Amino acid sequence: MPLPPEDGTFVEMIARWQAQRGEFLLPPRGKVTFEAMLPMVGRVNLIDVEPNSADPTGYDFVFRLVCTARDLRGRMPPRTVAEVKPEIHARTMAADFAACVREGAPTVTEVHLSDGASDASFRRLLLPYAAEAGDTRVAMLAACLLDGPGVREVLQSPRFSGGQS
């Protein structure tokens, strides 16, 4: 999705990502400072990208860190995107993440959510990075602007918190 021109936060985050790349295709993890980006967004996730054992052309996406500016939960038990509820949300998220990995470039997606009673949406910026300088294996930083009305409430509903899929 093209970056909305009025979205100064994402423009700034992409500029920081570009500046940290140097001569490499992807910036190294040590240069991707989510702490510096966190105050600009509602939520940041660091995501490991691993080969999918069942599908050699696919990926597994493992959440390594989940935090907000108010709540730094830090490392979490391994949880993959496939475990996200509801299943349709997990499949959409995995498709967006896979597109970012294939492109090896920042990707903006518009996310629409519904818990059956309420609808909400937000934008997510995916920034790929490498474990080390010059490495071509991709991991990701997902920055979400949770500025849409009702997003937090929908995400806390039973449909998204695991009560119903």
Q: Which band of pLDDT confidence, cut at 50, 70 and 90, is reported for residue 28? A: confident
Nearest to 65 by CA among 99, 111, 34, 89: 34
Domain boundaries, the chain: 8-161
In sign, the C-alpha dihedral spanning 132, 44, 100, 79 is positive
8-161 to CATH, choices 3.30.450, 1.10.3470, 3.30.70, 3.40.1000: 3.30.450
pLDDT for res 41: 75
* Average pLDDT of the segment spanning 1-12: 64
- pTM for the model stands at 0.81
pLDDT for res 76: 59
Q: Which band of pLDDT confidence, cut at 50, 70 and 90, is reported for residue 95? A: very high
- Angstrom distance (rounded) from CA 8 to CA 14: 10
The count of C-alpha atoms lying within 13 angstroms of the C-alpha of 85, restricted to the half-sphere facing its C-beta, is 13
* Average pLDDT of the segment spanning 102-131: 88
- Angstrom distance (rounded) from CA 91 to CA 97: 10
Q: b/e string for 31-45 if b means 16 or more Cβ within 10 A?
A: bbebeebbebbbbbb
Q: Which band of pLDDT confidence, cut at 50, 70 and 90, is reported for residue 4? A: low
Residue tagged 């518009």 (tokens): 110
Beta-carbon contacts of residue 32 (< 8 Å; ≥ 6 apart):
17, 20, 127, 129, 141
